[in-house]
Amino acid sequence: MRLILIRHGQTPANVDGVLESTVPGPGLTALGHEQAEKLVAALSDERIDAIFISSMIRTHLTAAPLVAARGLVPVERPGLREIAAGDVEGNSDEASIHQYVHTLLAWCGGDLDVLMPGAERGHDVIARFDEVVAEAEALEVDTVALVSHGAMIRAWCSNRAANVDLDFVSNHYVANTGVVVVEGSAASGWEVTSWLGESISDAAAMGVAADRSPASEPLED
């Protein structure tokens, strides 16, 4: 099947560079609403049989124009929510960002035993997203859209897609309302076929080596 993974639109926390993972969390900025509206045209050529959203308001608002255009009822699942920031929730200082990003990248590299201080281990994060994907698969339809969060999408893809690894996700972020397309199944395996509108091979070729300093890492909460 085909999974269309969509990051939410811009939030006030994104603008301020704040680690924000509370539920239900903030809504969208004016730009975020515009980004959500543009998703309708951007995905006009895509068949979408069902839409899942996280328990965070920003995914509800991001999905709303697409839901209205397709006449679908969105399915809310907490498993799609952003990776909890734990002890550094609400912070924007360099040390806090480093802690969050360091843990995320450890998971992207396959070390799922690492604990996000005050929150979850990687195994728990990937498992809760897996549960939603399994539910989507059980619908036995062609294409399902999952409106989720940037760090969550990177973590899941690097652990479940055969053609995406730590190096790739370190150099390729997920912009607000960015779309990642994944095809396959849990049984046969998953592959990313498109990352922000580029084929996976083109995206890899265009990737710029990431400056791993905390200040350079775009927050995707």
Tell whether 9 is covered by a domain: yes
How far, rounded to the nearest angstrom, does the alpha carbon of residue 62 sit from its chain's CA centroid?
13
Q: Interior CA angle at 106 toward 153 and 219, to 5°?
A: 50
Q: What is the pLDDT of residues 70-82, one digit of tens each?
A: 999 999 999 999 9
Residue 221 domain-assigned (yes or no): no
CB 176 within 8 A of CB 14: yes
Is 118 contained in some domain? yes
Radius of gyration of the chain (CA): 16
* Separation CA 165–CA 170 (nearest Å): 9
Would 80 be classed as within a structural domain? Answer: yes
Q: Cα(190)–Cα(156) distance, rounded to whole angstroms?
A: 11
CATH number for position 77: 3.40.50.1240
Measured CA to CA, the distance from residue 90 to residue 156 in angstroms comes to 23
3-state secondary structure of 53: strand
Structural domain contains residue 143: yes
Task: Decide if 52 is inside a domain.
Answer: yes
pLDDT, residue 199, reads: 84
Q: How much is the pLDDT for 194?
A: 96
| CB 20 within 8 Å of CB 26 | yes
Asked if residue 39 has pLDDT above 60, the reply is: yes
Residue spans of beta strands (DSSP E) within the chain: 2-7, 50-53, 75-76, 143-148, 179-185, 189-195, 198-199
Residue 49 is part of which domain span?
A: 2-216
In a domain, 171, yes or no: yes
% pLDDT > 70, the chain: 92
Number of H helices, E strands in the chain: 8, 7
Rounded to an integer, the average pLDDT of 172-190 is 97
Number of structural domains (the chain) is 1
